[in-house]
């Protein structure tokens, strides 16, 4: 007679963590990032918009860590504008080049900039050309920097286009630069004194991730009016977010931990997210789903 023996599952099956261990690890990393952020936010090294805001600094540090920036580089490079993270174009270039991809400038004048790039191991060259006329037709020249430093603004457009085409994975799917998001900020019906209105505009330097020599000016405008309340999460975005969580097999408890990591602050309920925060979560989940199926 054949003897029966107990079945022992393979080690790799037995060690699967059904509770979403990666999200738990991110939550623990957020706590560590908060400690770093709290310490740095008490120093003059932290940019003005992070001073006294350790939670926001922690979110920037976590996001920076995901794309290869040190905590100090992240504080100087990552900006969150209306709930959306952004980098300066030159920081994008530095990150893409650090992964072995090529980015170079073909033409660089005050009226036309052409930037090219090639993914490591590929023979396909991506090319982006931006002119003042193109920027004007797109409505971008509302940004006063196109008057004070058009060459830098055209470069930012061309370089970021190439970086996103050549190495979106190196940027964790980051869709925006600081220069682009600045254009999307609503311009208030200004109640400004004559003296303030006549004050000249001074261009702010961009931060270069690897070799920064000057502190970056605060890019978040200080409104002179009461900002409108953030829009609550829409039913469409909510359904999209929950569907992605389901596809990825993430439990409700781990969803809250992951959301807190992404938006940079703890939450009691998933339903309390704003529309901007929910879209940020959806974008991150879509990137992880694409990564899992690659």
pLDDT digits (tens, 9 = 90+) for 63-115: 888 888 888 888 888 877 667 778 888 888 999 999 999 999 999 999 999 99
3 state SS of 201? coil
- Please tell me the distance from the alpha carbon of residue 233 to that of residue 280, in angstroms, as a whole number: 11
E strands of the chain, at which residues? 79-81, 84-86, 102-108, 112-118, 125-131
Q: For residues 83 and 202, is the Cβ–Cβ distance under 8 A?
A: no
3 state SS of 288? helix
- Tell me the pLDDT tens digit for each residue of 32-77: 888 988 888 888 878 887 888 888 888 888 888 888 888 888 888 8
The pLDDT of 118-146, averaged and rounded, is 90
pTM: 0.52
């Amino acid at each position: 007679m054949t003897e029966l023996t107990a079945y022992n599952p393979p080690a790799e099956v037995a060690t699967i963590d059904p509770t979403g261990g990666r999200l738990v690890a991110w939550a623990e990393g957020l706590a560590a990032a908060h400690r770093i952020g709290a310490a740095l936010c008490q120093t003059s090294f932290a940019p003005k918009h992070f001073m006294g805001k350790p939670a926001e600094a922690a979110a920037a540090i976590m996001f920076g860590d995901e794309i290869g920036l040190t905590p100090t580089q992240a504080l100087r490079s990552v900006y969150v504008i209306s709930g959306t993270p952004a980098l300066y174009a030159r920081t994008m270039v530095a990150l893409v080049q650090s992964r072995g991809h090529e980015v170079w400038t073909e033409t660089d004048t005050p009226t036309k900039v052409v930037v090219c790039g090639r993914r490591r191991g590929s023979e396909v060259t991506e090319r982006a050309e931006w002119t003042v006329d193109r920027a004007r037709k797109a409505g971008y020249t509302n940004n006063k920097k196109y008057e004070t430093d058009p060459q830098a603004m055209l470069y930012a457009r061309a370089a970021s286009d190439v970086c996103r085409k050549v190495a979106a994975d190196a940027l964790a799917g980051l869709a925006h630069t600081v220069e682009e998001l600045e254009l999307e900020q609503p311009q208030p019906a200004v109640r400004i004194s004559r003296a303030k209105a006549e004050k000249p505009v001074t261009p702010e330097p961009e931060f270069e991730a690897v070799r920064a020599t000057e502190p970056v000016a605060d890019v978040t405008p200080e409104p002179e009016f009461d900002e409108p309340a953030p829009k609550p999460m829409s039913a469409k975005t909510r359904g999209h977010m929950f569907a992605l969580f389901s596809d990825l097999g993430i439990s409700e408890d781990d969803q809250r931990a992951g959301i807190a990591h992404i938006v940079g602050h703890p939450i009691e309920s998933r339903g309390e997210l704003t529309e901007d925060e929910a879209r940020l979560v959806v974008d991150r989940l879509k990137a992880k789903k694409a990564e899992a199926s690659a």
